[in-house]
Amino acid sequence: MSLELVLITGMSGSGKTVALHALEDAGYYCVDNLPPELLGAFARLEHREHANRVALAIDVRSAAALPLVPRQLEELRTEGVKVQTLFLDASTETLVRRFSETRRRHPLSKEELRDGRQALVQSIGLERELLAELREQSLVIDTSTLRNAQLLAYVKKLMALPPGRLTLVFQSFAFKRGIPMDADYIFDVRMLPNPYYDPQLRPLTGRDAPVADFLRQQPEVASMQADITGFLQHWLAPLAHNHRSYVTVGLGCTGGQHRSVYLVERLAEHFAGDWTTLKRHRELDGS
């Protein structure tokens, strides 16, 4: 049986430990803070010892050796290892708040946290630069608005999907709460007719039949759905050919409750026959 390797990396304070716990719960053999120099050798050793599902966490504490990782991952793929990389991210403001709340010191910081916010922001900026290449090759999960339980559930859903096939992640969100950092494509649907202004539809969501019926009858909604569908149908095959494992499509409206939710449901339904699909509703999941 071929080896399944999940590499977890990302920003300090973004929830990598929580994600690793989710993989451990899912049956992966997990190792935290593995030196990048040992990645290939460790994966091969564990496979020989009959561990077919391995998860490793590597972060900026191994900054000097991080440039080795992309090449090592490519070598493992050529050997038949099914490699997935997850990059956990969060807004700088969120990371600053988390470090302030826990009183932890950033691994790149040369000053104590009490010496000021500016030093912490600079450390976070440097960390983003050091991890940029790994981020580019990974499925990015924006944890800025996620609670630990939501992150656990999402990672477990990802690991339940069949490996080695491009997965489409459709995500609804509210622009008023910020654009998700993990989206490869963003579509703004705020110009569409809004069910919010109907008192009977206002408390419902795009998953409810009355809202879906209302939006289905709007020509602008049908046109937007057709345009997004056409764009994705044109580009998904080239993305898959380029060895992309995940493509995240964000659809945003004002509150992330009606229009974006409806379109995520419809698009996921449409593409489910050809690609592995996953739905996320940022403002509704876990609420």
Q: Is 273 annotated as a binding residue?
A: no
Q: Is 206 annotated as a binding residue?
A: no
**What single DSSP character describes residue 104?**
P
Q: Is 13 annotated as a binding residue?
A: yes
Q: Is 125 annotated as a binding residue?
A: no
d(CA 11, CA 91): 10
Q: Is 157 annotated as a binding residue?
A: no
Find all residues with CB under 8 Å of 132, minimum gap 6, and list them: none
Q: Is 10 annotated as a binding residue?
A: yes
d(CA 103, CA 86): 26
The continuous run of DSSP H or E covering 142 comes out as strand 139-142
d(CA 203, CA 211): 10
Q: Is 223 annotated as a binding residue?
A: no
Q: How far is CA 43 from the centre of its chain?
A: 24
Q: Is 252 annotated as a binding residue?
A: no
- Six-digit token string for 15: 């929830």
Q: Is 12 annotated as a binding residue?
A: yes
Q: Is 14 annotated as a binding residue?
A: yes
Find all residues with CB under 8 Å of 207, minimum gap 6, and list them: 261, 262, 265, 281, 284
251 and 171 Cβ atoms separated by less than 8 Å:
yes
Residues forming the annotated binding site for GTP?
A: 59-62
Residues forming the annotated binding site for ATP?
A: 10-17
Residues forming the annotated binding site?
A: 10-17, 59-62
